[in-house]
Homo-oligomer: A and B are copies of this chain.
Amino acid sequence: MSHPQLDEHGRLQHLLSLDGLPREVLLQILDMAEPFLEVTEREVKKVPLLRGKSVFNLFFENSTRTRTTFEIAAKRLSADVINLNVSTSSTTKGESLLDTIDNLCAMNADMFVVRHASSGAPFLIARHLRERGLEHVHVVNAGDGRYAHPTQGLLDMYTIRHYKKDFSRLTVAIVGDVLHSRVARSEIAALTTLGVGELRVIGPKTLLPVGLEQFGARVFHDLRQGLRDVDVVMMLRLQNERMKGALLPSKEEYHQRFGLTPEKLALAKPDAIVMHPGPLNRGIEIDSSVADGPRSVILPQVTFGIAVRMAVMSLLAGQGAQA
- Residues of B within 8 Å of A280, CB to CB, are 95, 99
Q: What CA separation (Å) do A68 and B100 show in the bound complex? A: 12
Q: What are 5 of the A-B contact pairs (CB < 8 Å)?
A: A40-B107, A62-B89, A72-B107, A106-B301, A107-B303
Q: Is the C-beta of A278 less than 8 angstroms from some C-beta in chain B? A: yes
A103-135: CB near B (< 8 Å → 1, else 0) gives: 111111000000000000000000000000000
Q: B62 to A106, Cβ gap below 8 A?
A: no
Quick one: which of B44, B96, B104 contacts A52, CB cutoff 8 A? B44
The answer to whether A54 has its CB under 8 Å from any CB of chain B is yes
Whether the pair A40, B108 counts as a contact (CB closer than 8 A) is: yes
**What copy number does this chain have within its complex?**
3
A103 / chain B contacts, CB cutoff of 8 Å: 65, 278-279, 299, 302
Contact B52 A106 (CB under 8 A): no
Interface string of A297-308 (1 = CB under 8 A from B): 001111101100
Is the pair B99, A279 in contact by a Cβ cutoff of 8 Å? yes
Q: A40 to B306, alpha carbons, bound, how many Å?
A: 28
Question: Is A24 an interface position by the 8 A CB rule?
Answer: no
A84-B107 CB under 8 A given contacts A53-B45, A281-B94 = no
Q: With A106-B302, A279-B93 as known contacts, state yes or no: A45 contacts B41, CB within 8 Å.
A: no
Q: From A284, which residue of chain B is reached at the shortest CB distance?
A: B94
The residue on B at minimum CB distance from A304 is B106
Contact A90 B64 (CB under 8 A): yes
Chain A positions within 8 Å of B, measured between CB atoms, are 40-46, 51-54, 62, 64-65, 68-69, 71-72, 75-76, 80, 82, 84-86, 88-90, 93-96, 99, 102-108, 240, 278-282, 299-303, 305-306, 319
In the assembled complex, the CB of A152 is this many whole angstroms from the nearest CB of chain B, namely 14
Please, which residue of chain B has its CB at the minimum distance from the CB of A72?
A: B107
Residues of chain B contacted by A279 (CB below 8 angstroms): 90, 93-95, 99, 103
Q: Which residues of B contact A69 (CB under 8 A)?
A: 107
- Complex: A279 Cα to B102 Cα, angstroms: 11
Q: Which residues of B contact A76 (CB under 8 A)?
A: 52, 54, 80
Question: In the bound complex, do residue B80 and residue A303 qualify as a contact, i.e. CB atoms below 8 Å apart?
Answer: no
Q: Which of B54, B75, B99 contacts A72 (CB 8 A)?
A: B54
- Nearest-CB distance from A164 to chain B (Å)? 20
Q: Are B62 and A52 in contact (CB under 8 A)?
A: no
Residues of B within 8 A of A62 (CB): 88-89
On chain B, the residues within 8 Å of A303 by CB distance are 106-108
Residues of B within 8 A of A89 (CB): 62, 64-65
14 A-B pairs besides A45-B53, A105-B299, A106-B301 with CB distance below 8 A are: A44-B319, A45-B108, A46-B51, A62-B89, A65-B90, A68-B82, A72-B107, A75-B82, A95-B278, A95-B280, A106-B299, A107-B303, A107-B305, A108-B303
With both beta carbons as reference points, the residue of chain B lying nearest to A105 in the complex is identified as: B299
